[in-house]
Structure 1
Amino acid sequence: MAFSHGVSATHPAEPHVGNFAGRLNWLRAGVLGANDGIVSVAAIVVGVAGASTATSAIATAGIAGLVGGAISMALGEYVSVSSQADSQKALIDKERQELIDDPTAELEELTTLYEAQGLTRKTASLVAAELTSKNALQAHLSLELGIRQGDVVNPWQAAAASAASFTIGAILPLVAILLPPAPIRVPVTFIAVLLALAVTGDLGARIGGGSRARATVRVVLGGAIALAATFAIGLLLHTGGIT
């Protein structure tokens, strides 16, 4: 059987090698980051638009929200992924040292783990011995911990991806509220944002394998509530003479 680019020749739609789950998580994180950018900046600019018709004030608030949000997302992702990477590295180092200290016990452990998965003792011993001869560390990491040595997450990449996805999402409400004439800028922004949220909700459900309709309604409804709430607050501040 031939394989190419990590896809089975008999089941071309099913990846059998590589960190496919990890790639799905990255895609899902990107969609969620874009969704956060859309909602966060849209809520800010719509709220300001409810209090003031000044384009400069709306633009300033929106750009500040975009920059601040992107940096916040990047920092949060960096800290989170750094902790995850440290844990993964510690586990890999621990497993490597155990293989150096007592390779016989580690081989027995691997054999026992394969037995627990349903293999006979003889087959489990053969599999464990062959995998150990090729790459003992990877054999243990895959079976015991479910990780690959080359798949340690990179916090810098995670931070950059998070900031980029947030920025991409945040650009849409900025453009939607700044381009139209003042009388229709809020309705146009509402429509553009809700349509964009429908797309991200559907895409997130496709990636995660969940209900597309339920995910889309949930995201659109949440976004609509956020926009309505901030716009109402802006109107109240304006009416009360605070702005």
Structure 2
Amino acid sequence: MNGQHPDEPHREGLAQRLNWLRAGVLGANDGIVSTAAVVVGVAGATAQVAPVLLAGTAALVGGAISMALGEYVSVASQRDSEHALIEKEKRELATEPELELQELVGLYEAQGLSTATATQVAHELTAHDALRAHLTAELHIDPDDVVSPWHAAFASAAAFTIGALLPMATIIFLPHPMRIVATFVAVLVALAITGYVAAWLGGANRLRAVVRTVVGGALALAATYAVGVLFGTTIG
């Protein structure tokens, strides 16, 4: 036992879990808003289910693939940068170990340790794992916890799909007079939840995040519905 509480935020794998959760929450939010906007817009133009289903399915598939690709490229770039920094630190430790040790001492002194304590800590950590000590103190990188682009891509695509299924279900399975109103309500409630979770993960103001997310979603739905009604009236 190392005395570390299992729920503390510095446990191993934190970057992976937060990356997965962040991608999942954002993916769900995008899936809800973008798909709901499409199906509500089409439903505003026609009472038939088939066009709504076709448009919603296209939005779901295209959006999920787009989200997955975007997350993969973004996180892969971050991962490549972290690997490059790790390799650079390895080279510096191999060619200039004494200079790197003094740099580590200076970092600990800057955190408030005395010179004697900083020197002792630097020597002990270097003897145990020099690379990890430098990556943690200088770059705030855990070499065993580099983010995975595949995890982020999968989480984003899966969450987008799950989020998209909510407006798809309400707009397709409910009867015509109430399906648009029900979709509005279901989508705004879901957006309030995703906004709250996103703020909680990021440590931001939760009420502000919920209001911002719900208002943005309501405006998107209202705009696309108005467009659908306008085109439906024009075509009719």
Q: TM-score, normalised by structure 2?
A: 0.94
Structure 1 consecutive aligned stretches of length 4 or more whose deviation exceeds 6 Å: none
What's the C-alpha RMSD, in Å, of the aligned pairs? 1.7
Contact between 1:7 and 1:15, CA under 8 Å: does it hold in 2? Answer: no
The alignment covers a number of residue pairs equal to 236
Q: What is residue 7 of structure 1 aligned with on the other side?
A: 5
Matching of residues 151-162 of structure 1 within 5 Å? 151-162=145-156
Q: Which amino acid aligns with 1:161?
A: A
The answer to which of 19-28 and 165-174 deviates more is 19-28
Q: Quote how far apart the aligned CAs of 1:181 are.
A: 1.0
Correspondence 1:13-92 to 2 at 5 A = 14-20=8-14, 23-92=17-86
**1:117–1:62 distance in 2 versus 1, CA, 3 Å:** same
Q: Which residue of 2 aligns with 1:182?
A: 176
Task: State the match for 1:171 in structure 2.
Answer: 165
Percent identity (aligned): 60
Q: Comparing 14-23 with 38-47, which one deviates more in the overlay? A: 14-23
Q: Partner of 1:124: helix, strand, or coil?
A: helix
Looking at structure 1, the residues matched to 138 and 98 of structure 2 have their Cα atoms a distance apart, in angstroms, of 16
Tell me the CA shift for residue 215 of structure 1: 1.6
Query: Which region of structure 1 is more displaced relative to structure 2, 210-219 or 30-39?
Result: 210-219
Q: Which runs of 5+ in 2 are unaligned?
A: none
Per-residue CA distance 1:95-152 (angstroms, 9 max, x = gap): 0111111211111111111112121111111100000011000000000000110111
- Taking the aligned partners of 1:205 and 1:76, their CA distance within structure 2 comes to 22
Q: How far apart, in 1, do the equivalents of 2:176 and 2:32 lie?
A: 20
Question: Take 2:206 and 2:9, find their aligned partners in 1: how far apart are those partners?
Answer: 23
Is there any run of 5+ residues in structure 1 with no aligned partner, and where?
A: none
Distance across 1 between alignment mates of 2:76 and 2:8: 31
8 Å Cα contact 2:33/2:217 also seen in 1: yes
Aligned to 2:227: 233
